[in-house]
A = this chain, B = another copy of it.
């Protein structure tokens, strides 16, 4: 995967959290996922199919981070992982991918988005069936961390 694929996702993620939740998440240094397994409590996932590449994007949240983000987005304290949270994670996944899509299209990478899915379950792990590198961006918030993962096969 070209390194310039990841930046539009990173920026879109920051942008969604700033505008929708008034949260300034702090991105860490992107790295290549070596072990295939990242752990989280809620994951939003979406498939991407483009003219030059196909791929998959996942955002994996700890319970504390998504309850914090959801509380700020919905203006109401969220205390448990339920359907409201699943819907919201689907929306976040859609908005982040939509934002990245716009910038990538401007750069000549046109792709279409499949339907976002959400997985909830304590300490689940995700992996992607690809030989392409999986780029991970860790983010921290005041109430815990989350991870953005993108893999694209050219």
Partner of A129 from B37, B55, B56, B87 at Cβ < 8 Å = B87
A83 within 8 A of B: yes
Asked whether B56 lies within 8 Å of A117 as measured between CB atoms, the reply is yes
Q: What is the interface residue range for chain A against chain B?
A: 35 or more
Asked whether A94 lies within 8 Å of B129 as measured between CB atoms, the reply is yes
How many Å lie between the Cα of A125 and that of B49 in the bound state? 25
Task: State the oligomeric state as a number of copies.
Answer: 2
A137 within 8 A of B: no
A65 within 8 A of B: no
Quick one: closest B residue to A112, CB to CB?
Answer: B49
How many Å lie between the Cα of A109 and that of B22 in the bound state? 42
Partner of A47 from B83, B114, B119, B122 at Cβ < 8 Å = B114
User: Which residues of chain B come closer than 8 Å to A118, judged between CB atoms?
Assistant: 126-129
Asked whether B115 lies within 8 Å of A56 as measured between CB atoms, the reply is yes
User: Which residues of chain B come closer than 8 Å to A47, judged between CB atoms?
Assistant: 46-49, 56, 113-115
Query: Which A residues between 20 and 66 are near B, CB-CB below 8 angstroms?
Result: 36-37, 43, 45-49, 54-56, 58
Asked whether B125 lies within 8 Å of A54 as measured between CB atoms, the reply is no
How many Å lie between the Cα of A86 and that of B122 in the bound state? 17
Asked whether A124 lies within 8 Å of B120 as measured between CB atoms, the reply is yes
User: Which residues of chain B come closer than 8 Å to A124, judged between CB atoms?
Assistant: 119-121, 124
Q: Which residue numbers of A lie inside 8 Å of B, CB to CB?
A: 36-37, 43, 45-49, 54-56, 58, 83, 86-87, 90-91, 93-94, 112-130, 132, 151, 153
